[in-house]
Amino acid sequence: MILKGAEFQVPRGSSRIPKAAVIDYGIGNLFSISCSLRKVGVDVDIVSASQRVRDVDAVVLPGVGNFKAGSQNLMAFRQNILGPVGNGVLLFGVCLGMQLLFEKSEESAGIGLGLLKGQVVRLPRQVKTPHMGWNTLRISKPSSFLEGVNEKDYFYFVHSYYGTPSESDIVIAKTDYGLSFPSVVAQDNIYGTQFHPEKSGKLGQRVLANLVAIIKR
């Protein structure tokens, strides 16, 4: 299901081109998320463990796969991520990248970044996993991150686990699949989506454009 429509553009304001570091920690489709970010006007650098994250407006943590492998591979990046984010740089986690923002996961041993309090748990046994395909959001609270998104809009998911924040007020939207799970979170300069915006057509572009607008404020 690909949604048709005009290209979403970043709202007018500052003419400065925002810069993002996409973290290459061995898990995730770097090409797709990088291309999607460039489409909404972001200057993208793919950063490996041997490089420093510096002079960027955002850090992007993609990810597909196992929490343990992701957390192990991310160890080399921890200070490279935590330092800039502690100084106000925006952090955006996608799918497994969102799950790694939390403290731990019942999927396997491993330590997340711990920037969001809570843990990652499995979807109910009675539903088919992974949850793969298009699904909608139920917006829990207003956020500029989801400006222009309606509850009938579809986004693309691929996952078997989901994050459970200790603080419910960081949940921006939920999605129903066997139960209602948090699918969009936001806390200060930290954002996460369980769905893949880079695989979600024009509406995924809209969410990324909203992220750019937040950066450019």
Which of helix, strand or coil describes residue 113?
coil
CATH number at residue 162: 3.40.50.880
Q: Does 10 reside within a domain? A: no
pLDDT in tens, the chain (217 residues): 333 333 344 444 457 799 999 999 988 779 999 999 999 999 999 998 878 898 999 999 998 889 999 999 999 999 989 999 999 999 999 999 999 999 999 998 889 999 999 999 999 999 999 999 999 999 999 999 999 999 989 999 999 999 999 999 999 999 999 999 999 999 999 999 999 999 999 999 999 999 999 999 8
How far is Cα 164 from Cα 181, in angstroms, rounded to an integer?
8
Q: What is the pLDDT of residue 6?
A: 34
Could you read off the pLDDT of 9-66 as tens digits, one per residue?
Answer: 444 445 779 999 999 998 877 999 999 999 999 999 999 887 889 899 999 999 888 9
Amino acid type, 108: S
d(CA 98, CA 112) in angstroms, rounded, equals 10
Domain of residue 108 covers: 19-215
3-state secondary structure of 208: helix
What is residue 14's predicted lDDT score, i.e. its pLDDT? 55
Does 190 map to a domain? yes
**pTM of full prediction above 0.75:** yes
Give helix 30-39 / helix 201-215 axis angle, nearest 10°. 70
Cα separation of 78 and 115, whole Å? 11
Do you know the residue count of the chain? Answer: 217
Buried (b) or exposed (e) across 65-94, using 16+ Cβ within 10 A?
Answer: ebbebbbbbbeebeebbbebbeeebbbbbb
Domain total of the chain: 1
14 within a domain of the structure (yes/no) = no
- Residue 91 placed within a domain: yes
Look at residue 120 and tell me if it is in a domain.
yes
In a domain, 64, yes or no: yes
Assigned domain for 169 exists: yes
Catalytic: which of 35, 95, 106, 107?
Answer: 95
Which one is catalytic: 107, 131, 159, 198? Answer: 198
Q: Is 198 a catalytic residue?
A: yes
Residue 196 catalytic? Answer: yes
The answer to the question of residue 2 being in a domain is: no
pLDDT at 9 (0 to 100): 42
Other C-beta atoms closer than 10 Å to the C-beta of 24 total: 18
Residue 147 appears among annotated catalytic residues: no
Q: Which two tokens stand for residue 65?
A: 């796969």
